[in-house]
Chain A
């Protein structure tokens, strides 16, 4: 296969990967951030200790984390059909991607929030700040560099998941590598796809590191 033949395949595959990762990142933050906050707030010694609820949430998160993505993806096919009406295509892939990344990101959010010193939280309580104000004005802003670092790791993981999702009809770079590189023995396609993935991940990680550094004022 020549470069002229490959480019028309490579570009749409990259765009599909970007779409899958972009949408699922958005939904992951939407669901994972509150979940991570809940894990901290409801914990014993948290702002509103509700140990039973925290244990239940932790249990669900652990289930999500214990399934290999490829199993999770297939296991939740009925749920995917319920949400988007189909199980094939980029939109359908966003559902398992989000389901796989939410527990992962929630744990990273939990870790980042726990890094915030108890002294600043107590100082805020001493100033008469309520729970919502403490979460919004203390915990989240103070943990922001850690949250950005966690998000970067999550996006990179999502790129990996999206390659697997490609095999159930999501398209993208992983799908390209498997169909052309593996099944058709087009070694060049395989190599080029790998290089593109490496470049994307390196760029994203550098961007994430840079943003986290800019936000940190320690």
Chain B
């Protein structure tokens, strides 16, 4: 679905991408993992040509984007959704107005737009919030608006630029669960970049590990994690140590089919002990604080369990 070959991107003397090949298959969730400055953001932005690569080609859904320009490129981009770390919503528009934006750009008539916006908001669990302003929403809700907006044009591909990095752990899990559900229900191909190992373990089918503008290693996630000596196994990346698997992880897998395919059995067991505990009956501040403490306790225990 996405095929990048020989991608290079130079900013003057700085080499951001040093010959990257990437192949994302249709219907999979592909994670690019790496630390800040590894070039993963540049890579993602080269996929929809927000950055024009210095060399190399990018093909999305059979179309060579690097050969396009102007209006043709804009039309191709309408088939590629993107979500952002800081949501990038328009504060001048309502939630519905934000979701309608890409439809306006595509020239969809007003009545059709309204129908589609309502449909999308329902899909991401925000029905009835259309008239709100983005600043009235929580971070997780803002990202849901971002996702609805990204899906407006029925894209083949969704690009996720650190979409959960600005969110707290529980919200991260709910957003990842949503992405996984969209992947399964709509067959949406997702390319996501992240510095959090947990994100990759939770939702990704394949992963590429990037550093210094190169892909160090890539493949199906299960194989990579089990390979002794591979970066995720060693916890080379600080993120891998800092964020062990959580209860929510198991939650995601239960909802999305074959449990334990990515996460381990231990996670699933832990998940079943406290089904949906964070989501229910913890409205008060004390309740939330207690839930946080409980989660930390479980995390400490969980840290010793191999994933």
Which A residues are within 8 Å of any B CB, using their own CB?
Answer: 117, 119-120, 122-130, 133, 137-138, 141-142, 144, 215-218
Contact = CB atoms under 8 A, between A and B. Distances in A.
B76 A128 contact: yes
B102 A127 contact: yes
B90 A126 contact: no
B210 interface: no
Contact of B86 (A119, A128, A137, A138): A119
A126 B48 contact: yes
A122 B88 CA distance: 9
A120 B93 CA distance: 12
B14 to A, nearest CB: 16
Interface stretch (B21-29, B77-85, B296-304): B77-85
A142 B92 contact: yes
Given A122-B50, A128-B105, A117 B88 contact: yes
Q: Chain A CB within 10 Å — which of B77, B78, B92, B133 has the most?
A: B92
A141 B71 contact: no
A127 B93 contact: no
B77 A217 contact: no
Category for how many chain B residues contact A? 20 to 34
B78 A127 contact: yes
Q: Chain A CB within 10 Å — which of B50, B73, B91, B159 has the most?
A: B91
B134 interface: yes
Given A122-B50, A133-B105, A127 B77 contact: yes
B82 A123 contact: yes
**Which 8 A/B pairs are nearest by Cβ-Cβ distance?**
A123-B88, A128-B77, A128-B78, A141-B92, A128-B74, A126-B82, A127-B102, A119-B88
Q: Chain A CB within 10 Å — which of B82, B105, B153 has the most?
A: B105
Contacts of A127: 77-78, 82, 101-102, 105, 149, 153
Contacts of A144: 92
A217 B106 contact: no
Nearest to A143: B92
B89 interface: yes
B151 to A, nearest CB: 11
B261 interface: no
B277 interface: no
Interface string B86-123: 10111111000000011011100000000000000000
Interface string B206-240: 00000000000000000000000000000000000
